[in-house]
Amino acid sequence: MTIPTAFAFFDFDDTLAKGDSILPYLIYCIRQGIAPRSQLFKAACGFIGWKLNPKRASAAKQATLSYIRGRTLDEMDEIARSFFREVQTQRFFEQGTAELWKLRQQGVKIVVVSASADVYMRVLPEFLPVDAVLSTTCMVKDGCYTGAVGPNCKGKEKPRRIAQWLAEQSLSIDKARSSGYGDSPSDAPMLLLTSSPTLVNPKKKLSRKIPDGRIVRWR
């Protein structure tokens, strides 16, 4: 038996924080000596491949993050914490952070569901009041990253990951009391799991997909 629960599902990039996060993370790792400068070329090639074929999103992330192969979870968690402290927290939308705290006070369970890589997203609950993070998985074996990357947590993959996580937690969505937040049309499948979709600085395609959604402008 599952427990109906009020949730708030949030995208991350351009919803809670300005812009894409993987490139700033890569640049930070280069500056810290964790990744070689040549990694930018690999990332660019991966990005071009993804633009030519959207199905190659996971391959693009794998190319961008190949330098984490063989590095331990603990080592990369420390890098992720430093990245958030020194870079990413400056990119948080103030209104988004305030919304998180308001929902937390209301007893809503907050889950961030993001295409960003979990090599850094896994430490997000240390910096924002969120209960769980579901993101693109960087594979681990024996406590070290293998360099492989799982399915891109975007579009229809978001509801699939949410359903998997809910089953593991023996929870279900109380749709009437739940809300979703996103900026992109690829967030629509997640937002429509709830009765209160909120469009954050929305792209036009998202506004067309969910014309009755609440629109907010966060800076």
pLDDT digits (tens, 9 = 90+) for 24-41: 999 999 999 999 999 999
**pLDDT category of residue 51 using cuts at 50, 70 and 90:** confident
Which three-class secondary structure state does DSSP give residue 70? coil
**pLDDT category of residue 1 using cuts at 50, 70 and 90:** confident
Q: Is the pLDDT of residue 50 over 90?
A: no
What's the pLDDT at 56? 85
pLDDT, tens only, 166-184: 999 999 999 999 999 999 9
The CATH number for 165's domain is 3.40.50.1000
pLDDT, tens only, 91-142: 999 999 999 999 999 999 999 999 999 999 999 999 999 999 999 999 999 9
What's the pLDDT at 2? 87
Which residues neighbour 124 within 8 Å (Cβ) at sequence distance 6 or greater? 12, 84, 112, 130, 133
What's the number of domains the chain is made of?
A: 1
Query: If we measure between CA atoms, which residue out of 118, 163, 189, 147 comes closest to residue 2?
Result: 163
Domain limits for position 11: 3-216
Neighbours of 78 (CB within 10 A): 12
Do 8 and 181 touch, CB atoms closer than 8 A? yes
